[in-house]
Amino acid sequence: MMRRFFAPLLAAGLLAGVAAHAEDTLSPLRFQSSGAFGSIDLAAAQRGFAVYQGACASCHGMNGLHYRDLEALGLTPEQVAGIAGSVKLADGSAATPDSRFKQPALVNMGGAVPPDLSTIVAQRPGGTRYIYDFLTGFGPAPAGMKLLPGHNYNAAFPGGQVSMPAVLRDNAVTYADGTKATTAQEAADVAEFLTWASEPNLSARHAVGLRAVIFFAFLTIVAVLTKRRIWRQEG
């Protein structure tokens, strides 16, 4: 009897994981990493790394990461070595998998210094969704709003004015998996990559949490059934 109760719980947990991996990120917008039992979408995070390299790395560093960390995204050691080897460090030498991500030259945007992105998702309210909204929030300023010199309008940023320009555009990168690189897709993918960078153990932590919930649900059922059996025997 207990097995009949436990099996549906386990199956439900596994099916939920499969459904999360199969879901379309943009229709409607949803991040696989969100929620109590979310996990990193490795395909999206890999694409997001490509976006970071192509559109973000020239201004924003990620000093919290080493190139070897990319293996956790599903890249092979050979791929990681190739990525690192293509990067020239400040001293002119090629990076290795053990090197930290290359720091960009100091950029001053109207008095603002681009922040390091290693833990940006953890630092911003709304985390992953905020990054997406920010990257897709550029546009013309509302009527009557006067922008400061060297600033751009961004609907997601508090106050609406940022010194950073819009950096994403359709086909800003070419995805190896054939995904259409729209601005929205690029924003969603780099947001997932930055989520992983901020919390690389998120998937494992949530998986442990899911197993714990299933285990304690099973124990609860066992306790209830045992209690009822004892009551019947005493009655």
Please check whether residue 52 lies inside any domain of the structure: yes
- Structural domain boundaries, residue 129: 2-23+40-65+100-234
- Residue 144 in domain: yes
Q: What are phi and psi of 51, to 5 degrees?
A: -65, -45
Here the CATH number for the domain that contains residue 152 is: 1.10.760.10
| Whole-number pLDDT of residue 65 | 95
DSSP state of 184: H
Query: 195 or 109: whose pLDDT is higher?
Result: 195
More confident residue, 21 or 6: 21
**Alpha helices (H) in 119-201, listed in sequence order:** 120-123, 127-135, 183-198
Residue 142 belongs to some domain of the structure? yes
Q: Which of 40-54, 162-176, 180-194, 204-218 has the lowest mean pLDDT?
A: 204-218
For residue 165, tell me if it sits in a domain: yes
Mean pLDDT of the 37-62 span:
93
**pLDDT score of 233:** 67
pLDDT of residue 138: 98
Higher pLDDT, 37 or 12: 37
Average pLDDT rounded to a whole number, residues 16-29:
57
Examine residue 17 and state whether it is found in any structural domain, yes or no: yes
Residue 19 predicted with pLDDT over 70: no
Which has the minimum average pLDDT: 34-38, 197-201, 222-226? 222-226
pLDDT tens digits along 55-89: 999 999 999 999 999 999 999 999 999 999 999 99
Here the tokens at position 112 are 């603002």
Nearest-angstrom CA–CA distance, 1 and 228? 13
Instruction: Return the structure tokens found at 109.
Output: 């945007």
Total of domains in the chain: 1
Report the chain's mean pLDDT, rounded to a whole number.
Answer: 81
Decide if pLDDT at 221 tops 90.
no
Those residues whose C-beta lies under 8 Å from the C-beta of residue 158, and which sit 6 or more positions away, are none
**pTM of the entire predicted model:** 0.75
**pLDDT at residue 217, rounded to an integer:** 57
Mean pLDDT over 198-210 rounds to: 53
Strand 152-153 versus strand 161-162 pairing type:
antiparallel
Position 38 scores a pLDDT of: 82
Q: Please list the alpha-helical segments (H only) found in the chain.
A: 2-22, 42-51, 77-85, 120-123, 127-135, 183-198, 202-234
CB 223 within 8 Å of CB 59: no
Angle at which helices 183-198 and 42-51 cross, to 10°: 110
Residue 228 lies in a domain: yes
- Give the separation between CA 202 and CA 217, rounded to whole angstroms: 22
pLDDT at 54 > cutoff 90: yes
In a domain, 30, yes or no: no
What backbone torsions phi and psi does residue 161 show, to the nearest 5 degrees? Answer: -125, 130
pLDDT band (50, 70, 90) for residue 196: very high
Encode pLDDT of 114-162 as tens digits.
999 999 999 999 899 999 999 999 999 999 999 999 999 999 999 999 9
Q: Would you say residue 84 lies in a domain?
A: no
Nearest-CA neighbor of 118 among 187, 35, 184, 61? Answer: 61
